Structures are given as C-alpha cells and as structure tokens.
Chains A and B, each alone.
Chain A
Amino acid sequence: MTVVDDCVRLLGAHRVRSHPLDLRIFAKDAGVRPGHVIAAVFPETTTEVAAIVAAANHHGVPIVPRGAGTGLAGGAVPVDPGLLVVLTRLNRIEDVDLIARTAWVGPGVINLDLSKHLEPFGFHFAPDPSSQQACTIGGNVGTNAGGPHCLADGTTVAHVLAVELVTADADIITVGGDIPDVPGLDLRAVVVGSEGTLGIVTKALVRLTRNPPDVATLLIGFPTVTDAAAMVSGVIGSGIVPAALEMMDKAMVVAVENFVHAGYPIEAEAVLLVEVTGEEASVGSDVGAIVAVAEANHASSIRVATDDDERALLWKGRKSAFGAVAQTAPDYYLHDTVVPRTKLVEVLDQIYSIGDRYGISMLNVFHAGDGNLHPLVAFDAKEPGALEAVLAAATEMVEVSIAAGGSLSGEHGIGVEKRDLMGLVFSPIDLDAQARIRDAFDQRGLMNPDKVLPTGSRCFDASGNALR
C-alpha cells in the first residue's frame, strides 16, 4: 500500500488526483518555482484531514496544505515529493454571531465570499488581499495575510480568534477561543502565519468588522515620488490613521489606466489612493485635513470620489494592478519587503537604481501607510537568463530593505522563496528559537518541510539543550 492507496481508501478515487496533468497543475502556486506532488487530495471534513495526516505519517510522506494556490512564496507546493492537502471543500460559514461579532469559517471559504455573506448584516472580514476574489481564508491564516485595509484594522492575526488545528500527530485541537485572553500560551498567534508548518487549520473563528457608516476615497497625484512619500508621513503625523493609504508609481499608473480607464492621472509621477472611514462628521473632517496635507506636499491633482460607483472604480484600478501588468510582459515577480514608513523614499530610490542596473522593467504599487513595498518586475521567463536576473535583483532589493531596518515579508510569507534569506534578518540564535517553536508542534518534520526556516536553523537536542 502506498500513501496514495490509503488516500483513495479514505476519500474515494474521485477525491484523490494523481494523473500526470493534475500533478503538473498542482506543482505550482502563484510563485515562480514548481515543486513535486505525489497526489492532490480533497478532504471534506476535519476527520478526513486527520486521517490523511495519520496515513502520511505512517508512510513518512511530507504534507503540504493548500487553499486556492494564490500564494507568491512557494508555500503551497512541496519541495521534495509530498502530499498536497487541498482544503477548498471545507468551505462552510457557521455560527455567525452578531453580538459577539464572530463566525466559524472553513479554510476553503473564499475571502471575498465571506465579506459578501456578511454584507446583509452590515459586517465584513477586514483583511482584503488583492487576490481576495480567489484566495481562501485558510491561505489568509497560513500567511497572516494583509491587504490595503490592514493599515487601520491590522492583519489576519488580529481577526482570527481561534483555529481548529489538525496537528502533525493527527490530533484535532482548538487553539485560542471565543473568550477574551484565553488562559495558557497563545498558540493561535504562532499558528497564524506559520504557512502550514505547524499543522493544518480546518476551521477558523474570525472577527467580524462593522461596515463603516461613511467612507471617502481620494486619488491624489504628485509630481515626484518624494512628495507622495512625504504626504504619507504628513497624514500619519496629522493624527489620522486612514483605513488605507496606497501608492502607485508612474509606470503602474499608466498600466492600470490602460486596463481599467478609471481616469487615473497618467501625468503624475506617483499617485496615492487614500481611504478614510467612520461616522459622517469624522470622515468630513478627515477629508479636509488630508486635502490640506496633500496641498502642502505639492499635489498636482486631488480627486474625491463622489459616489460608491466612483469609489469602486478607483479601487478597481488598485486591485487589478497585477492583472494590468500582463500587457507589459507575460511573467511577473512580486516583492513584499517592509521598511519603516519613514524610510520609504530612501529605499525606493535604491530599488529603482537596482532595477536600472539589471535593466529590468519595474512597476511599483504598494501599501505605503505601513511601509510594505511591492516592486513588481515584469519579464519574459522564456528569454534566457531573464529569471536569473530578476532573482538576483530581488535579493539586492531585499538587502537594501533590511539595511534600512526592514524585513523580508510584510504579508506574502517566506515559503521557499525567501527561506534562505532569513539569515539576513535573524541571527543563528533567533533561528534556533524559531526552530524550537516548530519542533514543539512537529517533531518529525513532516508538516510543510523545507519552508520558512533555512536548513541548519536547529541547534538543540531533543531535550532542548544547545548543541553548540
């Protein structure tokens, strides 16, 4: 019996896919590197997930959980041959409680579907990654996903109160809970963002966020990137934390405008999309303050959306940015470094000059409010040496971000893509502590191995004593 035979016995042949074509499709997520899949399996219940984990353990086969596969860091593909556990069929929304403002949600529920489900009640799920039409809650939990609106609301970890987890030992446990300050260690906080390395999340208790009574969306053009970045600091300095504060550079504005025809100012060197929410009186005063800061920072155009349709159109420009890039080149590579907000200009300048040096075509769209940079390199992977140049430039861009006090990833995760760069941020002592956390959950190392932590992170014996 192989692990695939066991899975067929547990789920039936129709929920175990191992045809060569399936294996090729599932060997990729939205990242650039393929992996090796033994089979993709589609459980429908927590019990089935636990049975699959037990079977994989029995055969000593690595397990990789997967949602919609929109992740960009290679987190959802096995490096060495492994079993892919696709959780899209665990897609129920249960126990919506409008007093507690919580709901239990399956990992396969699509992010935007959850907010649409809550819309009639006047609530939504706050994290809103650009991929929200496709990405799943399970993937959001795995990467601690963000999105434009996490500037004021926080990332996924602030919106997940508990998770049901199938552990590496195939136990089913709940970490966190629906009471405040659950006694004991906050294992929930490390499971969120652990990229499937600590177990498989089969259900999440999410916090529901009230839809704001009033919203204003502004699109502001600037003659220089420096002016736009100064505006970001100016807004925060004025005592306003907007709901969203997004920046696009000229290359991206042109690509987006060609694509959605939203009336973006293509003559501007940089554009800020600013959104403020709240009660009518506060939104009104915030808009006034933001316009004043924009004028003080040499804004070349200020447009305030007059109705919901215009708001939606301005956001469509932002949210379709990555699709719009397809007109530039067939492939793209997207960065996700994060730097202190006050270092934006300095780091952007360095990133532009790295791009020039490698002769690569780069567009920028990013979460300026929280310093989360997304330089996007458009290229054609069929050109010899193109991917290598893109990856070499990527490493340099990460290095300048870290030198400015930044970090590897703001919201996409480490996966396999940035695993070997972890040593730029963490000392061997720090990585050893990270390996201890992982070991506490997974002693055999079969849960999404080869991800997040570089080889050699672990420097302790089974009792936790240092090896050197």
Chain B
Amino acid sequence: MTGIPSLPRGLADIGSVNGDGVQRFAPRSVDEIVSVVEALKAARVTALPVGAGSTFEDVPPPDVDVVVSASAYAGLIDYQPDDLTVVVRAGTTLGTLAEALEAKGQTAVLPETSPERTIGGVVSSGASGFRRLRYGPTRDRVLGVTLVTGYGKPVKGGGALVKNVTGYDLPRLCTGSHGTLGFIADICLKLWPMQPASRTIEVADVNEARFAIYKPLAVLETPDAVMVMVEGSEASVSDTERVLDGASRTGLLWPDPPSSAVNVSVRVPASSTTSAISVVRGAGAEHFVAQHGIGRVDAGFASLPPGAVEELRSRTAELRGVAIITGWKTADQMPDRWGVNPGSAGISERLTSLFDPAGVFRIGQLPGGL
C-alpha cells in the first residue's frame, strides 16, 4: 500500500483506513466524487471503485492503493412512474430500489441476487438476471449515466428518455466497463410494469418448450430439472400451463446460483447451451444453472486445479465460447479471470487511456489487463 502522499484537507472526512491497511473513500455527492478522483489523479495512485463490494467477496480484489466506495452515495434522485424511468445514485441497494418500484407496481428487471448488491455494482459489472430472455440484458435498460471520468470530470450521457440517439451511447458503454472509464455516479433505468401472475413449469424438452410458447421469462436447466418461467395475466399463464403440461408451481422459483469454492461462468452461442452443460459436467461441476436461449452456464466446482481450468477453457473455445472465473475461494493462485482477450485493434486501449490518462482506474479489471 502506497497511501496518498498529500491528501487534501477537505477529503479527510470522506476517507478512512480499513483493517487491511487500504485507504477507503466513501464520497457523499458527485462533487465529492470529483474531489476524490482529482486527488487520486494528482497523487498518481490506483483505485478500485466498488458498490457494496460483493464481487470481491467471491474473487480476490486487485492490488490497488485505495478503494472508492459508492456506499455513502445512495438513494433515488427522480422516480417518474408514468414515464417508466428512475434515476438512482450508484450506492442504492437493489433491495431499496425494488421496494420503491414495487410500491408502484414496477420493476427494473435487475439480477435476482442479494438485495444488498448496489445498482452501481450491477451496472459496472454488466450483470443481468435470468429474465433477460424476455426483457433483454441490464445494458438495454441503462438509459443514462453520470460518469466521473478518470480525468475527474462529471460527464452525462443519455437521459431519462426511453428512446434517444443524441450522441454516442455512453450509458451502454459504461455498463460492464468494470470501472475502467471512471466512477459511475448516477444511473437512469428504464422500468417495466410488474405482471399479476407467474408460473414455474417443469418441461422435458427444452427446444420443444421454447417453440411452443411465446416470450418466456427464462428457460433454465439445473442438474435436477429443466424449468420454464412465465409471467402475464392469470389467463395467459394458465394457458401456458396447459400447453407445456408439466409440473407447475405458482411464482418464480429461481434456482440458487452456484456458490462453490470455484465458480465459472461459461458463455457460448445460444445454440450451444446444451453442449456447454456437457462441458461443465465433464469438468466435474457439482452444481450448475444453464440459461437456454442465452448461452450461459454458471457452474460450481469443489476445486479446479489450474490445469483443469485450462482444459475447461479449451473445451469451451471449441464451442466458440469463453469460461470466466466468477468465484475463487481456494488456496491456489487464481488464473486470469477472463482467459480471453477479444482484440479491438487498439480501440479499447485508446478509449480507456483517453478516459483515464493518469491510470487511476486502469487496474486490469478488463480482459488483456486493461
């Protein structure tokens, strides 16, 4: 830990030192975020932006000088139910947001994970939930952002409009950027009305089910079952029940995601989802959740030695897919989290360096060490 040699006086009450000796900042406003980034830039130190920090409960955090947390920058800024839009601060937890939206019968269709996760963490990591088969990925609901760039300016992109082609799509670019362009402060989301009825129905044949029904929420496979999730009016979900003719339960009974010592997210072309299940089974997965129609299989392993990670990655590459490490709680050194580097002829490199010339947030969170 290098610390910050010359911490400006005004930042003293935003910062603290953690038990691990890493300095931590929790700015409370966009102005304070700007001040912190300016100070980090001037001091030439590196920083990890986090929401609740849940990503780094599962994988070891990168080696950085300071952590900048969104935890003290939380809450709704502007909620317009009639426009189906909401603007929130990055540190707002999914639970807090869902509670406000549910009161008006609406949802932002965010990942079905811990309510303690923050919207900033979800957007920064680009995480989507199971319902993406029906509603698209989270990225398609990020209408606007305020990004405090690595060069310390609060930049707005997009806005609280459901349709907007004014300028380059900064909100989508920030989604899944893992903090490499700056600190995402405010986020505007597109909302959907909640549906009155839902079902979880077990089916025998995945493709038959997918063609038999229109726009299911999710078609999931675990070691125990293949299940279709649907929502809509009571009449329409009852209809689907009749068409699919499998064991049906009321509500959306999302399977638990893998939480093994090693978790890997295998992503392949959607038509290879079943093959990807064979790959993770062959590698000894103790649990998996596969998303048919999406091409994603999240698998958990009791252990996965470095050689086995390589083997899994080469089998996945045969399907033209990737295997990303999402959880690593073993004593072994974690291999590269991504295992791939989709080249962009230097464009991603130039983009991150233009957004962060001093390299405050360029701490290798993206493939290729960006």
Which A positions have Cβ atoms within 8 angstroms of B? Answer: 97, 99-102, 143-144, 146, 150, 154-155, 157-158, 167, 169, 171, 173, 175, 177-187, 189-190, 192-194, 210, 212-213, 233, 236-237, 239-241, 278-282, 284-285, 338-342, 367, 370-372, 405-414, 418, 422, 425-427, 429-430, 432-434, 436-441, 443, 452-453, 460, 463-466
Contacts and interface: CB of A to CB of B under 8 A. Distances in A.
A212 B84 CA distance: 24
Contact of B83 (A150, A281, A341, A409): A341
A178 B320 contact: yes
Contact of B267 (A158, A181, A411, A443): A181
Given A233-B82, A440-B347, A239 B163 contact: no
B353 A185 contact: no
A180 B354 contact: no
A50 B228 CA distance: 45
A433 to B, nearest CB: 4
Nearest to A425: B166
A167 B347 contact: yes
A148 B368 CA distance: 41
A437 B322 contact: no
Contact of A285 (B80, B157, B213, B235): B235
A410 B295 contact: no
B324 A441 contact: no
A146 to B, nearest CB: 6
A460 B126 CA distance: 29
Given A240-B193, A279-B239, A464-B353, A212 B214 contact: yes
Nearest to A210: B214
Contacts of A181: 126, 128, 137, 176, 267, 296
Contacts of B270: 99-102, 178, 180
B144 to A, nearest CB: 10
Nearest to B81: A237
A158 B140 contact: yes
Interface string B87-127: 00000000000000000010000000000000000000010
Nearest to B177: A185
Contact of A175 (B137, B147, B233, B344): B344
A24 B281 CA distance: 63
A415 to B, nearest CB: 10
Interface in B325-357: 338, 340-345, 347-348, 350-357
Given A100-B295, A180-B295, A189 B173 contact: yes
Contacts of B168: 190, 193-194, 434, 437-438, 452
16 contacts: A100-B271, A143-B165, A179-B322, A184-B368, A187-B351, A189-B173, A239-B193, A281-B238, A340-B85, A370-B162, A409-B166, A410-B163, A410-B165, A429-B154, A439-B350, A464-B354
Which of A146, A278, A407 gathers most chain B CB within 10 Å? A407
A239 B157 contact: no
A187 B350 CA distance: 12
A11 to B, nearest CB: 24
Given A279-B240, A282-B236, A185 B351 contact: yes
A453 B309 CA distance: 46
A183 B170 contact: no
B347 A414 contact: no
Given A279-B240, A285-B233, 18 more contacts: A97-B269, A99-B270, A100-B295, A101-B270, A167-B347, A173-B345, A178-B295, A185-B344, A185-B352, A185-B366, A190-B168, A212-B214, A237-B82, A405-B159, A409-B164, A430-B156, A430-B167, A434-B170
B215 A210 contact: yes
Given A158-B136, A183-B342, A340-B83, A278 B157 contact: no
A85 B354 CA distance: 29
Contacts of A340: 80, 83, 85, 160-161
Given A101-B293, A186-B139, A429-B154, A410 B354 contact: no
Interface in B187-202: 192-196
Contacts of B177: 185-186
Contact of A278 (B136, B161, B215, B352): B215
B28 to A, nearest CB: 21
Interface in B124-152: 126, 128, 132, 136-137, 139-140, 147, 149, 151
Contacts of B165: 143-144, 155, 193, 409-414
A233 B82 CA distance: 6
Contacts of B71: none
Nearest to A188: B172
A339 B321 CA distance: 41
B348 to A, nearest CB: 5
A239 to B, nearest CB: 4
B354 A186 contact: no
A185 B180 contact: yes
Given A169-B345, A180-B295, A154 B153 contact: no
The 8 closest A-B pairs by CB, nearest first: A189-B172, A464-B357, A282-B236, A99-B271, A440-B351, A239-B193, A100-B270, A281-B235
Contact of A372 (B163, B175, B348): B163
Nearest to A175: B344
A236 B128 CA distance: 24
B294 interface: yes
A450 B356 CA distance: 26
Contacts of A194: 168
A460 B175 CA distance: 24
A280 B348 contact: no
Which of B176, B233, B324, B353 gathers most chain A CB within 10 Å? B233
B84 A236 contact: yes
Interface in B22-46: none
B193 A167 contact: no
A1 B368 CA distance: 41
A116 to B, nearest CB: 21
Contacts of B291: 180
Contacts of B84: 236, 241, 341
Contacts of B162: 341, 370-371
Given A183-B324, A187-B344, A278-B236, A426 B167 contact: yes
Contact of A465 (B151, B155, B233): B151
A192 B83 contact: no
A436 to B, nearest CB: 4
Contacts of A453: 167
A167 B345 contact: yes
B310 to A, nearest CB: 17
B75 interface: no
